[in-house]
Structure 1
């Protein structure tokens, strides 16, 4: 049985044989002017374009053989479907469990991104919750995942950033595939993106134009640096002694104003659906099926031959697609979950939940990692435009709506965070707890990410204007896992988060939390910070600060690592993550 787990395709191919042709994300793609549709206008302002391009163009497909069935309509699934369907002789079916969010304001309007998950996840999220985590005093952090066309790229905060070169070089060393090295992948990154200048008259930003090409995904600069950003940027730069960088050009350490996947022309989200989905929406050899929840992969021996999925309001209508090749692009939760439901996974666990074992693959569902982070909160001056102002000041909200609807500007046109830093932790911090993992990471990788959002991220925050600076582990040592709770595909999996689960992880986040607190109390921040709201000035000991870290620990919505199938990942906990915003699982192959 030969398995593939492909970084470039961000997918797992369950078939004997490889995808035809070479991987080139920009090959034969239309220019970015050709594939973008004019936006519709709504009472609020803009949405991203076409409404329900394909819908569910299907009846029962149980006797219909297609070339490729792709499970998961996120970035990986959309890119693969678009690339494969360029060959008119190839038939492709792309399944997405979620609804169409093409015209959803919380998807398209940049400042409204938090409302996809706050206070509770909306229909465009898988609402996963972890099991009680002993490292967090029994808390159960959520792990919401995108559940609409575009997946995570439709609901995240639109920061576009790439990892440190050593991460990709390590992938190449582990896999023996030289095309995974940074210099090779940089060509693919260029092929998928183009830079759209904007707001250049408002502030200077270091941008390496050579890091971008003529691909379909638009990357732009932060709309403006008013309010919190210029102060936070300078505090990070001075306090951490870091240079300004373009994080997409091969620099893993430094301070940066955000590069964002936002279209300059109308300040709407640029993501996988308009970048790749619209290019293939009218191709007769492609079916894009939404509200189609895959429940099981069928096997003939150890060869995947079909996919069963359900539709209808209560997921009661069953359909089956027979395909020559079946590709999983359902993410770090959905893909291993579907494999285990289908009999591929740890043998003992599958037998425990009553699923016939097709193939014993112990690593499936293991090594689940994230960029988990913890939060401080500060009350900010009226100069800082915040979500609180939008919700509590009717005049402010009306002006924001008017500016956005009239000329695609103002509060709603901006992302909710515009500056961040990647930084190392002094080796002495790790030596104090006898940790060797973090100090051994290559010197171009940051241990910690410092960032903020202009919204309250701690439950029961006071009714004042708040910004939430936070610090995240870029490459944690400890890993979590996921298992099935039931053979029923409708039942959520059991997720063990294991946040800060090693002495080194705990030492790093505590160091970062204390450092961030010092930065917020610096002279640079005084013009915009009125007071610390959480954890509060009375919290001073490491023990109490650790409790604050536990209380506010959250997912960065970047789970990865849980689908190691190849032989070289036998010690799969050591496979690195990029530390950036875009990544697939590790690449490998096995033949036996």
Structure 2
């Protein structure tokens, strides 16, 4: 049932179906290519990398945090960035707003050329991971907003807020744009204000209670920009990016000849598409940095022998370092909402407006035009080749930060297979309450005058919406009915985090506790959500930690 609901939501949530783009394919690396970005001059297929080489820093994962991190460190040291996927501009669907849904629907668990890797959690909710340079910032809906200020006091890191601000600005100069609101987004903005989500903050990249227009990583032409674009800031003589490089484990050695009790990361073992193994090693003062995301980083630690001793032993994995909380405290922000067929045609739009409520939920919206091929002999369509278009619009609620936590465990000792994850949506009653609050706010927006134009008039003359999939319960004051709606229609908004959280697996400098020369820089270290969308804060984090690493290197010199 839940998978059926998900498919309905996905078909109506956001964008165009893949059938509308004859050039789209999960193997679109063979298709028409966009203009080559400047950073491709230092990108090589892993098959062309040496079987063994040495670097100052090896970064595993060219995703949302990994790309800005590598670009920054390259100004001070020799960096190797290893990405298991390929180049984003070689996938036309990735590079446009209209291709979002096609990319998600075509996500493939095992095809190394698919830029999105599908997985379904133990909760039964389908999900996706980025598998392309740029990571999930290259497959997402493009919404950009800085973190909730509370995040910086609750995240467990000791932040230099001036450096945080500089790092955000560095990202924003390159890849963030102001969206232009059209019919649906404008109506939702007005509806949120009517529903009491005030004040109106206009366009801002800051997290602000009330209704606002956020930034977008799609430019005015609708072309996507991602963290991969930040590689243009790299020092080209100091960086190498290997694509289609599947890192299998972190290589460890005793930190001291006199003591075998403490280990140190000395490199990584990775495999190219032909199956050949490569060793990338770090110099004496270097580091291995995992930026493989909330799924990939804990998985790599476990496969490398860092995790709970009894659990690793049960898999026959030699225990290098006992870390009991690897894979624990894994969170995903649940998404719930409704989809309507509006009475008037709508343009396509991704998330641009957000209502940040004072009751623990965010309300967002999208609209899409889905084309269907017309029947070959139609009574109603004069030209057989004319397509039929269905316009759909969505209102969704996401809770501000889940308290319900889950866990990750291995599904295989092969890193190419997804681990098993469970998020335990709504295990904590506070999350249920927040979802009910958000769903009720959707109901209030639907009742606003701003959305009257999207209703149909029935045969009795009354006006109402036409829903696709589940509608809100008629009695939205009934908490039990609303809680049932939340549980029954739960889906993901792809904002999972945790698994290597600060204070449990890494210290406040993001160094793995008890392991030398190993650090984790990605969303797996967060036990609290940054806000409406984590990508802004993850890109900032890559830049921020990169600058701190450079400063530490200069001090040590």
Q: SS at 2:498's partner residue?
A: coil
Q: SS at 2:302's partner residue?
A: helix
Q: SS at 2:105's partner residue?
A: coil
Equivalent residue, structure 2, for 1:345: 307
How far off is 1:349 after superposition?
A: 1.6
Looking at structure 2, the residues matched to 494 and 57 of structure 1 have their Cα atoms a distance apart, in angstroms, of 27
How far off is 1:191 after superposition?
A: 2.7
Looking at structure 1, the residues matched to 443 and 282 of structure 2 have their Cα atoms a distance apart, in angstroms, of 54
Q: SS at 2:201's partner residue?
A: coil
Residues 340-363 of structure 1 show CA distances to partners (whole Å, capped at 9, x for unaligned) of: 110111222211222111111122
Instruction: Pick one of 348, 363, 377 that aligns with 1:450.
Output: 363
Are residue 513 (structure 1) and residue 439 (structure 2) matched? Answer: yes
Q: SS at 1:527's partner residue?
A: helix
Instruction: Pick one of 145, 148, 157 that aligns with 2:141.
Output: 157
Equivalent residue, structure 2, for 1:96: 83
Contact map agreement 2:138 2:226 (CA 8 A) in 1:
yes
How far off is 1:49 after superposition?
A: 4.0
Contact map agreement 2:81 2:240 (CA 8 A) in 1:
yes
Contact map agreement 2:31 2:91 (CA 8 A) in 1:
no
Contact map agreement 1:372 1:499 (CA 8 A) in 2:
yes
How far off is 1:329 after superposition?
A: 0.6
Looking at structure 1, the residues matched to 405 and 525 of structure 2 have their Cα atoms a distance apart, in angstroms, of 7
Q: SS at 2:189's partner residue?
A: helix
How far off is 1:141 after superposition?
A: 0.9
Q: SS at 2:329's partner residue?
A: coil
Q: 1:517–1:120: structure 2 CA closer, same or farther, 3 Å change rule? A: farther
Instruction: Pick one of 279, 291, 309 that aligns with 1:329.
Output: 291
Count of aligned residue pairs for this structure pair: 451
Looking at structure 1, the residues matched to 441 and 172 of structure 2 have their Cα atoms a distance apart, in angstroms, of 35
How far off is 1:495 after superposition?
A: 0.2
Q: 1:574–1:108: structure 2 CA closer, same or farther, 3 Å change rule? A: closer
Equivalent residue, structure 2, for 1:141: 125
Are residue 286 (structure 1) and residue 247 (structure 2) matched? Answer: no
How far off is 1:369 after superposition?
A: 1.3
Q: 1:454–1:499: structure 2 CA closer, same or farther, 3 Å change rule? A: same
Q: 1:333–1:246: structure 2 CA closer, same or farther, 3 Å change rule? A: farther
Contact map agreement 1:124 1:147 (CA 8 A) in 2:
yes
Q: 1:354–1:289: structure 2 CA closer, same or farther, 3 Å change rule? A: same
Are residue 497 (structure 1) and residue 423 (structure 2) matched? Answer: yes
Q: SS at 1:106's partner residue?
A: helix
Equivalent residue, structure 1, for 2:215: 259
Q: SS at 1:333's partner residue?
A: helix
Instruction: Pick one of 221, 236, 240 that aligns with 2:178.
Output: 221
Q: 1:510–1:245: structure 2 CA closer, same or farther, 3 Å change rule? A: same
Instruction: Pick one of 379, 384, 392 that aligns with 2:341.
Output: 379
Contact map agreement 2:185 2:366 (CA 8 A) in 1:
no
Aligned-pair Cα RMSD in Å: 3.2
Are residue 579 (structure 1) and residue 531 (structure 2) matched? Answer: yes
Alignment of 1:267-416 (within 5 A): 267-274=222-229, 276-280=230-234, 283-301=236-254, 302-312=263-273, 316-324=275-283, 325-386=287-348, 415-416=349-350
Equivalent residue, structure 1, for 2:154: 170
Q: 1:567–1:189: structure 2 CA closer, same or farther, 3 Å change rule? A: closer
How far off is 1:60 after superposition?
A: 5.9
Contact map agreement 1:125 1:148 (CA 8 A) in 2:
yes
Equivalent residue, structure 2, for 1:468: 394
**TM-score where L is the length of structure 2:** 0.74
Q: 1:118–1:574: structure 2 CA closer, same or farther, 3 Å change rule? A: closer
How far off is 1:67 after superposition?
A: 1.4
Q: 1:48–1:161: structure 2 CA closer, same or farther, 3 Å change rule? A: farther
How far off is 1:529 after superposition?
A: 3.8
Larger relative strand fraction: 2
How far off is 1:548 after superposition?
A: 3.5
Residues 90-140 of structure 1 show CA distances to partners (whole Å, capped at 9, x for unaligned) of: 321111001222232222112322221036558111212211x2xxxxxx1
Contact map agreement 2:63 2:292 (CA 8 A) in 1:
yes
Q: 1:230–1:163: structure 2 CA closer, same or farther, 3 Å change rule? A: same
Looking at structure 1, the residues matched to 46 and 405 of structure 2 have their Cα atoms a distance apart, in angstroms, of 40
Q: Which consecutive residues of structure 1, in runs of 5 or more, have no partner in the other structure?
A: 1-41, 134-139, 195-216, 387-414, 426-446, 458-462
Q: 1:550–1:322: structure 2 CA closer, same or farther, 3 Å change rule? A: same
Alignment of 1:25-174 (within 5 A): 49=37, 53=41, 54-56=43-45, 59=48, 61-87=50-76, 90-118=77-105, 120=107, 123-131=114-122, 133=123, 140-171=124-155, 174=156
How far off is 1:249 after superposition?
A: 5.4
Alignment of 1:517-556 (within 5 A): 517-530=443-456, 531-533=465-467, 534-536=469-471, 540=475, 542-556=479-493
Q: Which consecutive residues of structure 2, in runs of 5 or more, have no partner in the other structure?
A: 1-29, 255-262, 371-388, 457-464, 514-523, 549-557
Tell me which moved more, 228-237 or 536-545: 536-545
